Chains A and B, each alone.
Chain A
Amino acid sequence: MLSVSTTRRARRGMVREWRLHALSVFSLAVAFVCLGAALLVVTNLVALEERWAHSGRASVYLKDRATQHEVDALRAALARVPGVTGVRYVSSGDARVEFGRETEGRSELAGLPIEAFPASIEVDVAPGMPDRDLADAVVKIKQLPSVDDVETYQSWTERLARLVRGGVTASALLAIVVLAAVLAVVGSTMRLVLQRRRAEVEVLKLVGATDGFVKKPFVVEGGVQGALGALGALALLGLLFLVVRGPLDSELAALLGIEPSFLPWQVALGMVLLGGTLGAGAALASLRKLVAV
């Protein structure tokens, strides 16, 4: 447990060596920005994957020559497929209007001719419908003469899943880099601080301070450095996120169906705790050899 004396000595040490500590916190913040950015990308990729994995829909694109009778027959047949919860016909004109509405007329694609938007039957699928059943149904639907193509977005979600896995791996690697950075930065700072406060340590040991009593303030300083570094990184990332989010928000929402989100508070808190723990651990490791008196 931390005593008043420990926190007071740690605070006094940090105030007196504030330049050194500030430099250390900045270096740690840079390292944590890399980790935070990777986690931010992963967070949004996961949201995107979830959005599309549970979209529960398929688009059946129709051939231009499909007659109204064929379309009605297809709609009726699709509605009878187990797991299908809704069927909606979207004509070429409707598709173009819908696209224009989603892009709010800002996209250059809004000027495309009506032929670029094929008529389709939008099929809502129950979220619990197995992928194999959906694939079987797709194979059968594709064989119908009025059907041009069927899009289930499965390959898209598979690519997303691969991206997420890659992001998680990259984050894990970055976490190792951050760990090494924290150990190096906090360790070096602590050794420097220890050197500058050699007299203090010597006095403490001469008056009967235990090694634990001597080390505690340094460990607290290391922990605070780590936590402040992570906090600084979060603040910087938050600022960048707000700057970038403004112009991209609606575009991404239109194209991907999700709005970009910042790190959840649990992840942010975890980063700060990780920073504090790593900082304290690094300080402790660097203090193994105290001044011998």
Chain B
Amino acid sequence: MAQGEHFEPFRPMLRSGGARFSRDAAKRPILAFEEVYKSYRQGAPVLRGMSLTIERGEFAFITGSSGSGKSTLLRLLYCGETVDDGRILFLGRDVARLRHDAIPFLRRNLGIVFQDFKLVPSWTAYENVAIALEVLGLSRRLVRARVGEALERVGLGGRGEDLAGVFSGGEKQRIAIARAIVGEPALILADEPTGNLDPQLAIDMLGLFEEIHESGATVLFATHDRTLLEARSRRVVVLDEGKAIDVPQGIATDEYETHLPH
């Protein structure tokens, strides 16, 4: 940090009680992509002025064919990638303009679940979940209580001391979900979380995300699995040619058939 420069961590404007709380911001959507551009190679942009709004407490699927930008969209949101142009407003703050030092504070407001789980196999299930609270500096007693609750919630109560490496794929994903929800984040990002699971497990996992959603969390669920999209009549955002096409009532209609992955 340059001398004299003020370091400001990510502080949401929507959390009441804080000095930065803004009533106006609280009325705004939890997440808004405004004319976002992103390309990895010159002349081949993944997102071309994409705009998308997610309201608080929503559950939305993000879908599209391979390379359509589903993962890119999520990575931009948690600053795994940098935005070329446009704004991404999360909890009232533009995450595209965050300083490097502020990124950890942004991520503490997000729960992220990946297709490949991203667990540390040599840690226990408990340790994998607890780390999300340890970074916040919570007391061990509180961490123990909340991790126990989170593991119970995903159906792994009593298995906290087992090493993550010995769990099955579905169970590993449950640990990852427990880690994502244990900090009670404002937004859950799921990047193809059922990609490595069999169809029945995938439906079970979707049910778990829906339970989490019902408790008040906003969920963005990226998938290219049509069976999941067809199983629920929820909002679907289709990414096609770098833009977002909204299907508010799900894919019951075939209006967007040509854009959907097969």
Point out the residue from B101, B128, B135 that lies within 8 Å of A213, measured CB to CB.
Answer: B135
Q: Is B137 an interface residue (CB 8 A)?
A: yes
Q: How far is the CB of B172 from chain A (nearest CB, A)?
A: 12
Instruction: Mark interface residues in B100-111 (1 if CB within 8 Å of A CB, else 0).
Output: 010011111010
The distance from the CB of B246 to the nearest CB of chain A, in whole angstroms, is 28
Chain A residues contacting B128 (CB-CB under 8 Å) are 203
| Residues of A contacting B105 in the complex (Cβ-Cβ under 8 angstroms) | 208
Name, among B104, B106, B140, the residue most crowded by chain A CB atoms within 10 Å (CB to CB): B104
One of B86-94, B112-120, B213-221, B225-233 contacting the partner = B112-120
Are B134 and A5 touching (Cβ within 8 A)? yes
B80 within 8 Å of A (CB atoms)? yes
Partner of B121, one of A5, A199, A208: A199
B166 at interface, CB cutoff 8 A: no
B205, CB-defined interface residue at 8 Å: no
Q: Which B118-149 residues have C-beta < 8 A from chain A?
A: 118-123, 128, 131-132, 134-137, 140
Contact partner of A207 among B80, B107, B122, B140, CB < 8 A?
A: B107
User: Once the chains are docked, how many angstroms separate the CA of A208 from the CA of B123?
Assistant: 18
Q: Would you call A244 an interface residue if the criterion is a C-beta within 8 Å of the partner chain's C-beta atoms?
A: no
Give the distance to chain A from B102, nearest Cβ to Cβ, in Å: 10
Chain A 176-214: CB-based contact to B (< 8 A → 1; otherwise 0): 000000000000000000000001101111111110010
Interface size on A, residues (CB 8 A): 17
Q: Does A4 contact B (CB under 8 A)?
A: yes
Partner of B135 from A200, A202, A207, A293 at Cβ < 8 Å: A207
**A140 beta carbon closer than 8 Å to chain B:** no
- Total interface residues on B, CB under 8 Å, equals 26
Residue of B nearest to A6 (CB): B134
Q: Is B179 an interface residue (CB 8 A)?
A: yes
Contact: A208 with B135, CB < 8 Å? yes
CB contacts (< 8 Å) of A204 on chain B: these are 131, 135
Asked if A143 CB lies within 8 Å of chain B CBs, one says no
A203-B140 in contact given A208-B135, A210-B104 (Cβ < 8 Å): no
The chain B residue sitting closest to A16, CB to CB, is: B122
Q: Tell me if B78 counts as interface (CB < 8 A to partner A).
A: yes
B179 — nearest CB in chain A belongs to which residue? Answer: A207
> Smallest distance from the beta carbon of A210 to chain B beta carbons, Å?
5
Cα distance A202–B132 in the bound complex, in angstroms: 12
Annotate B70-106 by CB proximity to A: 1 below 8 A, 0 otherwise.
0000000010100000000000000000000100111
Interface residue A266 (Cβ < 8 Å from any Cβ of B): no
Please determine whether A207 and B132 come into contact, CB atoms closer than 8 angstroms.
Answer: yes
Contact residues of B between 232 and 256, Cβ < 8 Å to A: none
Determine if A155 is an interface residue (Cβ-Cβ < 8 Å): no
CB distance from A56 to the nearest CB of B (A): 59
Nearest CB on A from B38, distance (A): 17
B contact residues around A4 at 8 Å (CB): 140
Q: Which residue of A lies closest to B176 (CB)?
A: A203
The residue in A16, A202, A208, A293 that gathers the most chain B C-beta atoms within 10 A of its C-beta is A208
Cβ B112 vs Cβ A206 within 8 A: yes
Docked CA distance A203–B131 (Å) = 9
Tell me, yes or no, whether A3 is within 8 Å of chain B by CB: yes
**Closest approach, in angstroms, between the C-beta of B8 and any C-beta of chain A?**
14
Nearest to B118 among chain A residues (CB) is A203
Chain B residues with CB under 8 Å of A213's CB are 104, 135
Q: How close is A194's CB to chain B, nearest CB, in angstroms?
A: 14
Could you say which residues of chain B place their CB within 8 Å of the CB of A209? 104, 131, 135
Q: Contacts A205-B104, A207-B179, A208-B104; is A199 near B134 (CB within 8 Å)?
A: no
Shortest A288–chain B CB gap in Å is 13
Cβ contact within 8 Å between B80 and A293: yes
Give Cα A199 to B120, complex, Å: 6
In the complex, chain B residues whose CB is within 8 Å of the CB of A202: 118
Extra pairs beyond A199-B118, A199-B121, A210-B135 (8, CB < 8 Å): A4-B140, A199-B119, A203-B120, A203-B128, A206-B78, A209-B104, A209-B131, A209-B135
28 sampled A-B residue pairs with Cβ under 8 A: A4-B140, A199-B119, A199-B120, A199-B121, A200-B123, A202-B118, A203-B119, A203-B120, A204-B135, A205-B107, A206-B78, A206-B112, A206-B118, A207-B108, A207-B131, A207-B135, A207-B179, A208-B104, A208-B106, A208-B108, A208-B110, A208-B132, A208-B136, A209-B104, A210-B101, A210-B104, A213-B135, A293-B80
**Could you tell me which B residues sit within 8 Å of A by CB distance?**
78, 80, 101, 104-108, 110, 112, 118-123, 128, 131-132, 134-137, 140, 179, 183
A-B pairs, top 8 by smallest CB distance, nearest first, are A208-B108, A208-B107, A207-B132, A209-B135, A208-B104, A210-B104, A5-B134, A200-B120
